[in-house]
Amino acid sequence: RTLRWLWKAPLLASLAGIAYVGWGVYEERNPGPQVEPDPSKKTLVVLGTGWGSVSLLKKLDTEHYNVIVISPRNYFLFTPLLPSCTTGLIEHRSIMEPIRTILRHTKANVKFYEAEASSVDPERKVVRVLDTSEIRGDVIETEIPYDMLVVGVGAENATFGIPGVREHTCFLKEIGDAQRIRKKIMDCVETAAFKGQSQEEIDRLLHMVVVGGGPTGVEFAGELQDFFEEDIKKLIPDIADRFRVTLIEALPNVLPSFSKQLIEYTESTFKEEKIDIMTKTMVKKVTEKTVEAEINKPDGTREKITLPYGLLVWATGNAVRPVVKDLMDRIPAQKDSRRGLAVNEYLVVQGTRDIWAVGDCAVAGYAPTAQVAAQEGNFLAGLFNNMARTEVLEQRVRELSGSLNLEPGNAADISKEIEEHERQLRRIKDIKPFHYSHQGSLAYIGSEKAVADVSWFNGNFASGGSLTFLFWRSAYLSMCFSTRNRLLVINDWVKSKLFGRDVSRE
Ligand code: FAD
Ligand code: NAI
């Protein structure tokens, strides 16, 4: 009998899987009716459609507010799989989820404006927004008033003012960046393969340099080397022995936020993959074809080097966006904050009453990661839902208290109801401050290997290799925004495995 059930288990699991996917697809295609917002309710303006803002919108009870979302991007981007888009392993649309789809699934109608917030005036409680859409040919500027504001605009790329970075390098933060890199890789390869190139020029074109050994730089270097090994090398064998990837990092090691054991594992895997790691090397200047850096040698001296490159990807972390900087300058309590909007334990921007901040633009004492941003967004949704319920209950208690004298015959019932509401009020008013729960860090390091520092029963569990790679894939697949994203990503993985990556340059 047990054997018979064992035999049936995979069948039942498959049926459950199909039903789950089917339900996901049905739900996405058939959103329920939405109620119209009530103009007497407070206006909640949310800036951004990234991890922080979208996590908030997913959990927020939109019936309680007039919600307006403003972002220059009309989609959510699943950033953990962005490095895979640079080589075409995953197609970019597979990791984008239209904000319109997301907002169509909220309880009450939410307004969305595709525009950029240029400034926030906390005194007048208005956000100034710019619509820079090319379709009209001019820039439209307007103001949007708010009662409550959530700033979730993320961060921009840090360049530290190093000359040439903005003009000559590619960043890796947005979909457009990944597309630019994908194009440029193939441009370098095709130009190097062109007739009559000097040996020096071929070497330059095929030298791919990555600056910054944080998770973005490491994951990109791994993906790039995979692309070369699995596809470019096979399709264009004449340039096979010239393609080189170099990773430059100012600190003594890559992945500084991972455990020592995983740093060593990553560095040794990169050596096997023939990725050159140059640590203790600080880039000082970038020109159109070269990168100039300074190596800190063990004897304390410094050596200047100049490396010719074909593609240079700049991944040196985050900087504060101008809209955030402008807001910080308007709030005296923010004068000592450097890395973003300092928030209290309820994510309220310090020095303000009605502004909250989430994600990379907020300084709450945590690393700027998707995990933190998502948990902060969830927390705020809970907080706002509670605030709205509190108002409703308090209003009801006021009404009931007023009717106590008017309806003495019902006094017992009314008192009971008041008591019940007050009990609920005590419970929901007892809101705990935001607490981040770290689930661990994961990074792909190339050749179907990944590293993971995972929190496990109050301890830490570090692992690296091919099994970790399977864990990495399944973890990120399960975290993809929608069933549609999940199916598209699986399809891309299978397609690339069977037919290779598409090397055509659009
Ligand atoms: P974002 O997700 O960056 O969203 C910001 C939003 O604000 C965007 O919609 C943007 O268009 C909008 N915006 C920008 N300017 C304005 C403006 N002026 N007005 C209105 N809206 C504006 N973290 C992990 O935990 N795990 C990972 O595996 C991981 N992988 C990553 C891979 C890459 C390549 C990168 C770049 C980052 C990765 N991260 C990862 C970090 C993670 O993506 C960020 O921490 C996260 O996106 C921060 O969320 P956020 O909501 O603060 O900002
Ligand atoms: P980062 O800040 O983590 O790393 C940037 C690296 O660039 C640093 O190690 C720094 O020493 C180096 N650097 C700075 N200036 C330099 C210079 N002039 N020359 C050489 N090296 C220089 O930035 P990253 O990787 O973009 O990550 C940003 C955030 O996103 C981090 O919090 C990270 O944890 C998160 N993230 C997480 C991922 C994951 O969990 N898999 C993947 C990508 C990002």
For 137-167, the DSSP string reads SS-EEEEEE-SEEEE----EE--TT-TTHHH
C-alpha of residue 153 to centroid of ligand 2, in Å? 19
Return the residue whose CA atom lies nearest to atom 2 of ligand 2: 317
pLDDT at 5 over 80: no
Residue 423: its pLDDT value, please?
Answer: 87
Same-domain pairing of 52 and 117? yes
Domain that holds residue 381: 38-155+320-388
Q: Quick count: other Cβ atoms within 10 Å of Cβ 423?
A: 9
Tell me what the mean pLDDT of segment 77-99 comes to.
Answer: 98
Residue 477 is assigned to a structural domain of this protein? yes
Same-domain pairing of 9 and 142? no
Task: Provide the ipTM.
Answer: 0.99
Q: Find the angle CA(464)-CA(465)-CA(469) to the nearest 5 degrees.
A: 100
Q: Please report, as a single letter, which amino acid is at residue 162.
A: I
Partners of 285 in the β-ladder? 292
Same-domain pairing of 147 and 225? no
Residue 183 is assigned to a structural domain of this protein? yes
Residue 9: its pLDDT value, please?
Answer: 85
C-alpha of residue 409 to centroid of ligand 1, in Å? 59
Banded model confidence at residue 192, pLDDT cuts 50, 70, 90: very high
- Ligand 1 pocket test, candidate residues 369, 468, 481, most atoms within 8 A of CB: 369
Predicted confidence (pLDDT) per residue in 419-437, tens digit = 998 888 888 877 899 999 9
Closest atom of ligand 1 to CA, residue 48: 7
Residue 32: its pLDDT value, please?
Answer: 86
C-alpha of residue 335 to centroid of ligand 2, in Å? 25
Residue 476 is assigned to a structural domain of this protein? yes
Tell me what the mean pLDDT of segment 436-444 comes to.
Answer: 94
Percent of the chain at pLDDT exceeding 90: 80
Same-domain pairing of 19 and 53? no
C-alpha of residue 491 to centroid of ligand 2, in Å? 30
> What is each CA distance from 216 to 146, 318, 443, 488, in whole angstroms?
36, 11, 9, 23
All residues at 6 or more sequence positions from 479 whose CB lies less than 8 Å from its CB, including other chains: 78, 80
Beta strands in 272-417 (DSSP E): 275-278, 281-286, 290-296, 302-308, 311-314, 318-319, 341-342, 355-357, 362-363
> Could you tell me the CATH number of the domain that includes residue 294?
3.50.50.100
pLDDT: which is higher, 59 or 411:
59
Same-domain pairing of 274 and 378? no
Residue 406: its pLDDT value, please?
Answer: 80
The residue whose two tokens read 């080189």 is: 244
Tell me what the mean pLDDT of segment 355-384 comes to.
Answer: 97
Tell me what the mean pLDDT of segment 40-44 comes to.
Answer: 95
Which pair of structure tokens corresponds to residue 433? Answer: 């401050």
C-alpha of residue 87 to centroid of ligand 1, in Å? 20
Which pair of structure tokens corresponds to residue 303? Answer: 């050596």
Same-domain pairing of 353 and 478? no
Find out whether the beta carbon of 69 lies less than 6 Å from any atom of ligand 1: no
Predicted confidence (pLDDT) per residue in 474-484, tens digit = 999 999 999 99
How far apart CA 252 and CA 250 sit, in angstroms, is 7
Residue 6: its pLDDT value, please?
Answer: 76
Find out whether the beta carbon of 73 lies less than 6 Å from any atom of ligand 1: yes
All residues at 6 or more sequence positions from 467 whose CB lies less than 8 Å from its CB, including other chains: none
Q: Please report, as a single letter, which amino acid is at residue 133.
A: S
Same-domain pairing of 49 and 85? yes
Residue 505 is classified by DSSP as -
Tell me what the mean pLDDT of segment 374-402 comes to.
Answer: 92
pLDDT at 326 over 80: yes
User: Which range has the worst mean pLDDT, 244-258, 317-331, 363-377, 409-423?
Assistant: 409-423
C-alpha of residue 334 to centroid of ligand 1, in Å? 22
pLDDT at 113 over 90: yes
Contact 34, 106 (CB under 8 A): yes
The residue whose two tokens read 């605030």 is: 387
Q: Which three-class secondary structure state does DSSP give residue 353?
A: coil
Find out whether the beta carbon of 70 lies less than 6 Å from any atom of ligand 1: yes
Residue 407 is assigned to a structural domain of this protein? no
Same-domain pairing of 301 and 450? yes
Closest atom of ligand 1 to CA, residue 72: 11
Partners of 392 in the β-ladder? none
- Ligand 1 pocket test, candidate residues 84, 360, 451, most atoms within 8 A of CB: 360
pLDDT at 412 over 90: no
Banded model confidence at residue 82, pLDDT cuts 50, 70, 90: very high
The residue whose two tokens read 């961060």 is: 155
Closest atom of ligand 1 to CA, residue 51: 51
pLDDT: which is higher, 335 or 23:
335
How far apart CA 506 and CA 504 sit, in angstroms, is 6
pLDDT at 1 over 90: no
Residue 459: its pLDDT value, please?
Answer: 79
Residue 138: its pLDDT value, please?
Answer: 85
C-alpha of residue 359 to centroid of ligand 1, in Å? 8
Banded model confidence at residue 358, pLDDT cuts 50, 70, 90: very high
Same-domain pairing of 135 and 48? yes
- Ligand 1 pocket test, candidate residues 85, 90, 153, 468, most atoms within 8 A of CB: 153
Return the residue whose CA atom lies nearest to atom 37 of ligand 1: 79
Banded model confidence at residue 403, pLDDT cuts 50, 70, 90: confident
Q: What is the mean pLDDT of the chain?
A: 94
pLDDT at 60 over 90: yes
pLDDT at 2 over 90: no
Tell me what the mean pLDDT of segment 341-356 comes to.
Answer: 97
Find out whether the beta carbon of 283 lies less than 6 Å from any atom of ligand 2: yes
Give the total number of structural domains in the chain: 3
Same-domain pairing of 46 and 110? yes
Find out whether the beta carbon of 83 lies less than 6 Å from any atom of ligand 1: yes
pLDDT at 21 over 90: no
Residue 403 is assigned to a structural domain of this protein? no
Contact 162, 284 (CB under 8 A): yes
Partners of 157 in the β-ladder? 318
Q: Find the angle CA(429)-CA(435)-CA(441) to the nearest 5 degrees.
A: 155
The residue whose two tokens read 């340039």 is: 239
Q: Please report, as a single letter, which amino acid is at residue 370.
A: A
Strand-pair category, 207-211 with 311-314: parallel
- Ligand 1 pocket test, candidate residues 79, 86, 437, most atoms within 8 A of CB: 79
Residue 506 is assigned to a structural domain of this protein? no
Same-domain pairing of 244 and 193? yes
Tell me what the mean pLDDT of segment 291-317 comes to.
Answer: 97
Q: Quick count: other Cβ atoms within 10 Å of Cβ 31?
A: 12
Residue 402 is assigned to a structural domain of this protein? no
Same-domain pairing of 312 and 324? no
